[in-house]
Structures are given as C-alpha cells and as structure tokens.
Amino acid sequence: MKLKHLDSALKKRRESAQKLMSSLQEKWSAIMPLDSCICQGQGPSADQKPGTILLPFSCHSGQGEHTWNQFVIRVTGKGKRDALREKLGTEGIQTEVYYPRAMHEQECFARKDLNYPVAKILSVESLALPMAGINSALLIGL
C-alpha cells in the first residue's frame, strides 16, 4: 500500500532537506561543501574554524536522487558537535551519533592497530538530525 505513495513521500523528504539546508545556512552560517573531500574529512575543511557546520554532500551520477534517509551534518572542532547536540536536546530536538568511534576502532572489527585519520575525524564531528519534525524548530532560528 505504501509503495504507491513512495514517489510523493520522497519528494517531500527532498523538499524538507532543501529547506533544512537553507535554514542552516541562513541561521547558523552552515556551509555547503564544494566537493566530497570536505565531507570526507580532507581538503579545505581543515581550514574551517571550530564550530563550522558542514552540510551533507550529496553526489549522484544521474542514476537516481538522494532519499534523505538520514541528514548528517559535520560540526568541526573537538567537542563542538557534542555542544550543539546538547543545545538541540534542550530544545527537544533529538539527534543521533551513529558512529561515536571510528569503525576500525570498534571491537567487532578489532583493527585498532590501523590508523584511519579521516574516519576518526568523522566519528567526532558527525551528527544526524531527524528528518521528521525538525524543520519548524530550525526555521525559527535555534
């Protein structure tokens, strides 16, 4: 039954994601990465001042469109992600940190001897915002 509504549901999600990105740019001075190197922890993001919010980088090859199952931002600088998460929590906005430790540092993979600096950066800077019910709170300028 839900399958016949999939296209319209995905369209709404894409519109919500665009509104959310615009709001974050306007209210919080979030920036859109120019390329995937920034969202992957390399390139000019190292030059961003701590606390800069980097918006999700979405690239696709024309084979489809982003479904916005998750809306993950980066908050640069040690501890800045957690401070923002706490602020949002006090406003009743639930966020999620899906990978608080880099994958290779998790016990199930047991590869703590390896060094993946980009993965480590992303594990302390990534923050997932909810796609449902967040736009109104962010649009009022939290």
Buried residues in 24-62 as b, exposed as e (16+ CB within 10 A): beeebebbebeeeebbbbeeebeeeeeebbbbbbeeeee
Can you give the residue ranges of every domain in the chain?
2-58+69-139
Would you give per-residue pLDDT tens digits along the chain (142 residues)? 688 999 998 898 888 888 888 889 998 899 987 655 544 555 555 568 889 999 987 665 566 788 888 899 999 998 999 999 999 899 888 899 999 998 888 888 877 788 888 888 889 999 999 887 665 566 556 5
Model pTM above 0.75 = yes
Q: What does the alpha-carbon distance between residue 129 and residue 118 come to, in Å, rounded to a whole number?
A: 21
What pLDDT, on the 0 to 100 scale, is given for residue 142?
56
Q: Count of residues for the chain?
A: 142
The two tokens of residue 10 are 């995905």
Task: Please give the class, per CATH, of domain 2-58+69-139.
Answer: alpha beta
Could you count the other beta carbons within 10 Å of the beta carbon of residue 98? 10
Q: What does the alpha-carbon distance between residue 89 and residue 92 come to, in Å, rounded to a whole number?
A: 5
Cβ neighbors of 112 (< 8 A, separation 6 or more) are: 104, 105
